[in-house]
Structure 1
Amino acid sequence: MRIGLPDVPALERGVSLLGSGGGGDTVTGAALLRNRLAAGHRVALTPVGELGADAQVVPIGVVGATAVFAEKLPSGAEFGAAIAAIERWTARRADALVSIEVGGLNGVLPLVVGGRLGLPVADADLSGRGVPRLNQLSVAAAGKGLTPAALAEPGGQVLVLAEATAAELERTARAFLAGSGGWAVLALAPISAGELPSCAITGSMSSAVSLGRQALSVGERSGAEELAAATGGRVIGLGRVVEVSRRPGPGEHGRTGFARGSATILDHRSRSLLRLEMENEYLFAMRDGEPVASTPDVLAVLDRRTGVPIACDVVRQGVEVTVLQLPAAEFWTDPRRLPVLEPRAFGIDCDPILMEARR
């Protein structure tokens, strides 16, 4: 699938929706992609089946405080440095790239990098949505290791972690990021293209473009139900944000955890209160205390006037919003993998409430 300038708005809207309120700023990533396309570079998504079975596919993405990304822009060398470190450590040449996360910024950047380095980008990713932790990537859920892994930061430092569990890699990455300006490029152990269907969400990048195109086709003046019908989701809330609270999340071994919080919406239709629990992403929804939707489905909060998704870190009291539930990728509804992203994985004592179960 060739990506041209007219496709960028759809890609940006699609990955923003799939971020489920997280994943980082897509505006900057989309601007970088437009610049690449305007310069005449070819950018395309390659179906996994068109890559040779033995092709070495390197997962890449940006980790850390992606909000800082727009303030401290990449030089471009960070991506090449991380990939080169993996190539040296494994003695295998990268034949293609795959995004670690289709939701948010990482749904756009691999296309920029692929165009710059002349590497094909697989039409797949390792999450199918926005996820907050490395142990929640699909490769980890499928039982594959993430290492060797390389972290490259804007100042030029490159760290290679030869062996580690996903949790150990997470801790090391956080420590590295604390002294590197807030964000870094992460490259993971190569995956053969023949293995990707068993440990990745295939077709997810082109699906994001389609989702964004459907959302944009509705237009700003259409109603919430029309938007839900166009995107294959359902409306779970339509009203004004009346309260936003934020608090530190539970940590481990004395370390600070991810920020937690909640946003409460007064629904104009039913006069009920819809409360969204969040930890980097929107994870769980209750209406008047009764659970109505949850991860791994995507919960997207959109500005009611413009249809633009509102991230967890910028949602504010007084905004008029539409709350959509979008179905999770089939990878995550498999009972073997569901525990990785179900509410209890985030300390919420509730069974998952998915659109699939309502059909």
Structure 2
Amino acid sequence: MHGSPPDDVWDLRRVTAADVPALVRGADVLGSGGGGDARPAGLMFGHAVGDGYVRLLDPDGATHLAVSFVGMVGAASAFTEELAGGGEFARALRAIERWSRRSATALASIEAAGLNGVTALATAVWCDLPVVDVDLCGRALPRLDQFSLAVVDGALPPLALALPRGQVVLVDGGDAVRCERVVRAVLAAEGGWAALATAPVVREDWSLEGPVRATRRCLELGARLEALGTSASPDDVVAALGARLLGAGRVVEVARHAGAGFGRGSVCVRDQQTSALLRLEMENEYLVVFEDGAPVATAPDLLVVVERRTARVVACDRIRRGDDVVVLQLPAPAFWARPEHVGRVMPRSFGLDVDPVLVAQPAGAAW
């Protein structure tokens, strides 16, 4: 067992090594083409947890816990090349606890998608804490100023960065945009990635502070994909994910463009049935889908590309001409669909002059 909160906190479930395949596949779906490959983090968690488990707590029962949000920031490729030993995440947490003079009684992910869909669970093993099923993104997002706490509070809590070569950097004060710039400057000079932990935060209603139950969503979506096996049809994948089918066919063109910030690119897919041309605009994630020039789906919804034969997610940095793919749209977390929040993650926040085109959440959705 790992993590022992007070007895009056309601357990959502126990997450074990047996959950890793579903967790990884679901986290890749929530990555919307980005967030980094979740498999290395899945291996890290599986090795750390062994025969034990991590307690995943529902946010409605965790309002009195001091929650530190943890995860990897920087280039996922750098993380894969220079894998964490595990000590980085615990080092970041202990440093911010010393700085803030407050101990965390639970952890949560900064971004329950891609590799960060798993890193908080691994950190929970190393630090012997439970995980609250709330995060700051509910999907993959590229910038710290897009974290939900920055949207709600106008600033981020103090945070610590533990670098892979041993240094710890504390960032406190200033608005979220300035914080993002400082963190990016540190990462550029020191290996490309770092483990991040925020000062512990207490909230009365987590659903007002950020996306909730994204890890539960990862586990459910991943389990459904695992159950499909190989050679599932596009309709099978649509039904398993509760998605909207945008098209299916061969990738006919991939264009990538370097820029001053994150790289940009576009992908064109010729639909096999209708011959319509789908164009996906991408940065770190897929952001907009056009059909014959008209926008049909946008962020903050999850725009997901899967390989037709295996139903495995095809990330932005791995998609290639000739790939046989299915293009899907899944609803955004409820937090980002709210009118007061959507402006921070819609296409214009990425420099694309397109209005949001979103699908409705299913009735009774928990996230």
The residue that corresponds to 1:253 in the other structure is none
Aligned equivalent of 1:17: 29
Secondary structure in 2 matching 1:275 = strand
Change (3 A) 1:144 1:197: farther
Matched positions, count: 351
TM-score by length of 1: 0.94
The answer to whether residue 337 in structure 2 is matched with residue 333 in structure 1 is yes
In structure 2, give the amino acid aligned to 1:35.
H
1:41 to 31, 46, 52: 52
Deviation track 1:204-250 (CA, whole Å, cap 9, x = no partner) reads 1111101111222223222111211121111112011111111124x
Where does structure 1 lack aligned partners over 5 or more consecutive residues? 250-255
Which residue of 2 is the match for residue 178 of structure 1?
188
Say yes or no: does 1:276 pair with 2:280: yes
Percent sequence identity is 44
Q: Deviations over 1:239-291 (max 9, x none)?
A: 11111111124xxxxxx211110111111111111000001000000011011
SS, match of residue 355 in structure 1: coil
How many Å separate the matches in 1 of 2:30 and 2:139? Answer: 5
Kept after mapping to 2: 8 A contact 1:282/1:300? yes
User: CA separation in 1, counterparts of 2:85 and 2:237?
Assistant: 38
Task: Report how far residue 23 of structure 1 moved.
Answer: 0.3
Q: Structure 2: which 5+ runs fail to align? A: 1-12
1:252 aligned residue:
none
Are 1:262 and 2:266 an aligned pair?
yes
- 1:3 equivalent in alignment to 2:7: no
SS of the residue aligned with 2:252? strand
**Secondary structure of 1:345's aligned partner:** helix
Tell me by how many angstroms 1:191 deviates: 1.5
Measure, in 1, the Cα distance between the counterparts of 2:217 and 2:244. Answer: 18
Instruction: Give the deviation of 1:147 after TM superposition.
Output: 3.0
* Displacement after TM superposition at 1:4 (Å): 2.0
Matched residues in 2 for 1:64 and 1:336: separation?
Answer: 28
- CA contact 2:60–2:206 (8 Å) conserved in 1: no
Distance of 1:72 and 1:171 partners within structure 2: 23
Q: Quick one: distance in 2 between partners of 1:7 and 1:42?
A: 10
Task: Give the match for residue 188 of structure 1.
Answer: 198
User: Which amino acid in structure 2 is aligned with residue 177 of structure 1?
Assistant: L
Matches within 5 A, 1:285-300: 285-300=289-304
Q: Distance in 2 between matches of 1:37 and 1:157?
A: 26
1:62 and 1:106 in contact (8 A); partners too = yes
- Whether contact under 8 Å (1:146, 1:189) holds in the other structure is no
> How far off its partner does 1:312 sit?
0.5
In structure 1, the residue matched to 2:152 is 142
Q: CA deviation at 1:166?
A: 1.1
Could you say which residue in structure 2 is the equivalent of 1:31?
43
Q: What pairs up with 1:74-85 in 2 under 5 angstroms?
A: 74-85=84-95
**Contact 1:239–1:268 (CA<8 Å) still a contact in 2?**
yes
Residue 102 of structure 2 is matched in structure 1 by 92
Between the aligned partners of 1:191 and 1:170, the Cα distance in structure 2 is 19
Given the alignment of the two structures, is residue 345 of structure 1 paired with residue 349 of structure 2, yes or no?
Answer: yes
What pairs with 1:50-65 in structure 2 (closer than 5 Å)?
50-51=61-62, 53-65=63-75
Please report how far the alpha carbon of residue 144 of structure 1 lies from its aligned counterpart in structure 2 after TM superposition. 4.7
Shift of 1:174: 1.0
The answer to whether residue 76 in structure 2 is matched with residue 66 in structure 1 is yes
Q: What is the CA RMSD across the aligned residues, in angstroms?
A: 1.6
Write the distance in 2 (CA, Å) between the matches of 1:54 and 1:195.
Answer: 10
Does structure 1 retain, via aligned residues, the 8 Å contact 2:84–2:164?
yes
- Structure 1 residues 11-62: Cα deviation after superposition (integer angstroms, max 9, x where no partner): 1111100000000121101111111232x332221112333x3321001110
* Per-residue deviation, 1:357: 8.9
Structure 2 distance, partners of 1:198, 1:4, is 29
Cα offsets for 1:47-103 (capped at 9, x unmatched): 12333x332100111011111212211121111111112111111001111101011
Contact 2:154–2:175 under 8 Å retained in 1: no
Alignment correspondent of 1:317: 321
Identify the residue that residue 160 of structure 1 maps to in structure 2. Answer: 170
